[in-house]
Amino acid sequence: MTFGIKTLAALFIASSLPLTALANEAKITESLAQVGLTVQQVSPSPMTGVSQVLTDRGLFFMSDDGRFLVAGNVLDMQNWQQVRGQKVPTNLKEQLMAPIIVKKLAEQKDNVIEYKAPKEKYVVHVFTDPSCGYCRKLHSEMKEYLKAGITVRYLAYPRAGVASEVGLQMQHIWCAKDQRGAMDNAKVDKTVAKAMCQNPVATHYELGQFIGVTGTPAVILPDGQLIPGYMPAEAMIKELSAG
């Protein structure tokens, strides 16, 4: 009987890990499966007896015995930071998620619909839905965003799901020869020509859920911070320059 190189490597890695670590990961994976979460990675967290768990729905914290799940934010009371002029404790969940979000957005660079600022200072990613009122308001102010030096990269987030009518419309937009023209039309209720192709709409939707998008527009700043809701260009440039 022969083993491939990958199989031998996997056996070596497994044999080198503490048995308790393997047991804890198994318990955590089993526990989270009960609430519909698929575990991608389990690693130690800054908290004693608690692991940080990356899942298909983002980052969670869980006791090493797989019993207690922390689904919300975790605040570090020894480390504080300035957020919009206020001193607040560091949000550990946001801090750990930010670089992961930046990496995943970079992987979608060729699948976004970009409105590029002539004199680019910042790049923001926006999960959008053409049927969303505040998404339309943001889009109507695109000239102000671009003038302020803010490049906007759209990702698809049909709030009613990929299989919905707006989900199908967004597939038409991403498959259009003129994607920006199709997006412009959709934002003002003009007809979007039907076109189908391999498209990233489902991937974007899953990414939005992973990041924690619950509504649109959802803006991701260059550092991976999520800003929910509409913000005018003037306020956005202040937010970006403050970071």
| Residues carrying an active site annotation | 129, 132, 135, 159
Choose among 129, 61, 120, 63: nearest CA to 95. 61
3-class state of residue 89 by DSSP = strand
Are 50 and 63 contacting, i.e. CB atoms less than 8 angstroms apart?
Answer: yes
**What's the CA gap between 223 and 112, in Å, rounded?**
18
Are 31 and 67 contacting, i.e. CB atoms less than 8 angstroms apart?
Answer: yes
**What's the CA gap between 183 and 172, in Å, rounded?**
10
* Residue 8, H or E segment: helix 5-16
**How many CA within 13 A on the CB side of residue 167?**
14
